[in-house]
Structure 1
Amino acid sequence: MMHLDLTRRALHLGATLYMPAINPHARRALLGEDLHGAGSVVICLEDALHANDIARGLESLRLSLLERRAGGDPRQRTMVFVRPRDLGMARRIADMDGIETVSGMIVPKLTLGNGPDWFALSRERGIALMPTLETAEYFDPFYVSQVRSMFDAAGREQIVAVRLGGNDLLNTLGLRRTGGRISHDGPLGYVLNMVSSQLMSHGYPVAAPVFDIIQDLDTLGAEVAMDIERGFIGKTAIHPCQVPIIHEALKVDRRDIDVAKGILDTSAAAVFQVGGVMCEPATHGAWARRMLARAEIWGVRGLALVENGETALRCAAGGE
């Protein structure tokens, strides 16, 4: 089933809204409030926080975690992750009272060198991780395969999802995003496809990088549609206006639901067609299960396909 349980868990991330630890909304998120409908929230003490604000950010996090723990267990609501600056800060945060109530930590700039220490911390403290791949090494396919082997050895249950740091990857090239173009068509296209396919094919869910031109919502819509088509389970958001666009893209077309159910029907033929498209349960089963899981979490888009008053789903080999 291509580790469907891991993918299902990761699909709940949806639009992952990042905010600095000193942002007043960070405390609200830690207290379990729904922030703009985001599927998940990251309290950031790394790139989103100036070095001068680190002490204030850590103290704010510490106090908010105490409030979070005292208020019961809010983990059934929005998933909340903490993004430390480095492993040393992660160890300090792991000692804070209430850290056990969050969904996990974001690992910044994970490499083969620092990865084992992060996974050791995860095992020791029972903290799930979302590794972020965002350094120059990830343009090398062999390096990616080595990191995947490290994940396998560490235990995939410790990983909620893998994140790709688009801006940091571009920075290694001395570039930044160009307005009006989706990331898959620009210089990141190669690394997004190569890294994600290596990981997804071994059952690791991967989240798409941020779209940082906040006012260009049309291009965001085009990019997240391509993200979903290529198998990404969610996307980083840096502004609330991006959340509904990402979540709309995560919905599943009614037609795909009908087809997925037909593929998973135990009485389905080995090969059949729907609307001129071949369906083969032996090779399309993973896609079908993924569609149904996505629909269960994010909903269905559009109406059922109707033809002559009946749903056009015919599971007869050789024709409609």
Structure 2
Amino acid sequence: MSVTGSISAISLGATLYMPCLRDDLFSALIGVRRIPGLRSAVLCLEDSVLERDLQLALTHLAALLRTMAAREPSPADPLIFIRPRSAAMLDHILCMPGVEHIDGFVIPKAHADTMPAYLALPLHDRHRLMPTLETREACDPQSMRRFRDQLLAVQDRILALRIGGNDLLQAMGLRRASHRTAYEGPLGNIIANLVAGFAPWGFALSAPVMERFADAALLREEVALDIEHGLLTKTAIHPAQIGVIQAALAVPADQAEEARMMLAEDSPAVFAREGVMCEPATHRGWAGRLLERAEMFGIADPLPLRA
């Protein structure tokens, strides 16, 4: 399974989920009414579309793909992914004219028993996959270990693993408190376990959505915790969240300087900076990713946490 082109998960930024029921997909993504700041989007045919509306949603998607095929792509275009309902639906989508212009697919309800059906499909060389960890299997380390071993065989195809926070809570019969971050309830432990189970093997993970899209201060606090957990891209459900998330991904100037010092060719094996030990041998990976983030989202002063 070969993959052409190179996309970094960090470049996704705030990934906006958009139901395919929208009849303005091209305009909102690429056209004159493009959503400001949009870096990546997922066109959803799954939970956000009722069964009775599915044919209309597929018609809108087919129209978007035809329009994309008829134009020259631009470097300013956002990354576009499709979230099908099933492997059978993805097989149908792969036959649509223009699908080769899509960057990839988000795989719903992904685990070791469901993924082989998707991997068996005739994906285009450029298509990258983002499996979503959102079923009860994500709470079982043994199940996730089996899934990780399966994905290692196709790792160049996997752009990121998306953590489906609301579905994971639904599996436990819970709903997140609207005034707290995801890390202040049971979801926090699950996120930490998924990071520990996948990140050391080279997989990027995406942070779950925050439902309370009108609370910018809480969203900034949650993104700071996402970053601390190594989650450098996040799902968004409202355009207002995009700017907040991507501003929060900007790198504090002092951290950027520290990262440059660690990556310098003449850096000592261990040095102190403002009372903190810096050891390039152990911090080099962090430094490289931080500077990649700075290149994408710029340099900013540290954002204050909620009081």
1:24 alignment partner, SS class: coil
Unpaired runs of 5+ residues, structure 1, are: 304-320
Confirm whether residue 285 of structure 1 aligns to residue 266 of structure 2.
no
Per-residue CA distance 1:174-196 (angstroms, 9 max, x = gap): 01111111111111111111012
Equivalences for residues 18-97 of structure 1 within 5 A: 18-29=17-28, 31=30, 34-74=34-74, 76-97=76-97
Q: Which stretch shifts more, 30-39 or 289-298?
A: 30-39
Match of 2:305 in 1: none
CA spacing shift, 1:60–1:247, aligned 2, 3 Å: same
Q: Which residue of 2 aligns with 1:313?
A: none
Structure 2: distance between partners of 1:131 and 1:122: 17
136-145 or 32-41, which moves further after superposition?
Answer: 32-41
| Seq. identity, % | 39
Aligned to 1:315: none
CA shift for structure 1 position 302: 3.1
Query: How far apart, in 2, do the equivalents of 1:125 and 1:40 lie?
Result: 19
CA-CA distance at 1:17 after TM superposition: 0.5
8 Å Cα contact 2:130-2:160 kept in structure 1: yes
Whole-angstrom CA distance in 2 between matches of 1:136 and 1:24:
34
Indicate the structure (1 or 2) with the bigger Cα radius of gyration: 1
Which residue identity is paired with 2:301? G
User: Deviation of residue 122 (structure 1)?
Assistant: 5.6
| Alpha-carbon distance between aligned partners in 1 of 2:62 and 2:271, rounded to the nearest angstrom | 57
| Aligned residues of 2:30 and 2:77 also touching (Cα < 8 A) | no
CA offset digits 1:64-105 (Å, max 9, x no partner): 110111012246521111111111111111110101101101
Q: 1:43 to 1:19 in 2, by over 3 A?
A: same
Separation of aligned partners in 2, 1:148 and 1:80: 25
Looking at structure 1, the residues matched to 29 and 121 of structure 2 have their Cα atoms a distance apart, in angstroms, of 22
Query: Against the structure 1 CA distance between its residues 43 and 177, is the aligned structure 2 distance closer, same or farther, given a 3 Å change threshold?
Result: same
2:228 is the alignment partner of 1:234? no
Paired residues of 1:112 and 1:150 also in contact (CA < 8 A): yes
> What is the root-mean-square deviation in Å for CA atoms of aligned residues?
1.8
TM-score, length basis structure 2: 0.92
Q: Which residue number corresponds to residue 294 of structure 1? A: 293
Distance 2:122 2:259 in 1: 36
Kept in 1, the 8 Å contact 2:111–2:144? The answer is no
- Aligned pairs for 1:1-320 (under 5 A) are 9-29=8-28, 31=30, 34-74=34-74, 76-121=76-121, 123=123, 127-153=127-153, 155-302=154-301
Amino acid at match of 1:41: A
Secondary structure class of the residue paired with 1:201: helix
